[in-house]
């Protein structure tokens, strides 16, 4: 892994040595970031609902205290 990182850093150093190319690339990246930020919509929330409720039903079967509670099964990267 260190060899790949060294090659990558070498490539970046060579790229930076061409000031005009580096300035153009930096401007392009900033422009793309601004486009991304303008299109970013934080007003919406997406939710996936497993309508057949298989995994939640298994959890409720194992923990009857959840019968009258909202149940989501998974980890933080999924929920």
pTM of the model as a whole: 0.41
Residue 74 has pLDDT above 90, yes or no: no
Banded pLDDT at 64 (limits 50, 70, 90): very high
In this prediction, residue 32 carries a pLDDT of 94
> Does 73 lie in the same domain as 55?
yes
Give the span between the Cα atoms of 46 and 70, in whole angstroms: 17
Q: What distance in Å separates the CA atoms of residue 47 and residue 79, rounded to the nearest whole number?
A: 8
| Domains in the chain, number | 2
pLDDT tens, residue by residue, 19-55: 898 899 899 999 999 999 888 877 877 777 766 688 8
Residues 20 and 49 grouped into a single domain:
no
Do 33 and 57 lie in a common domain? no
């Amino acid at each position: 892994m260190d060899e790949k990182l060294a090659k990558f850093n070498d490539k970046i150093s060579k790229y930076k040595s061409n000031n005009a190319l580096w300035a153009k690339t930096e401007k392009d990246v900033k422009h793309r970031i601004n486009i991304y930020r303008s299109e970013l919509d934080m007003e919406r929330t997406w939710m996936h609902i497993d309508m057949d409720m298989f995994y939640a039903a298994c959890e409720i079967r194992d923990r009857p205290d959840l019968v009258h509670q909202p149940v989501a099964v998974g980890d933080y990267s999924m929920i």
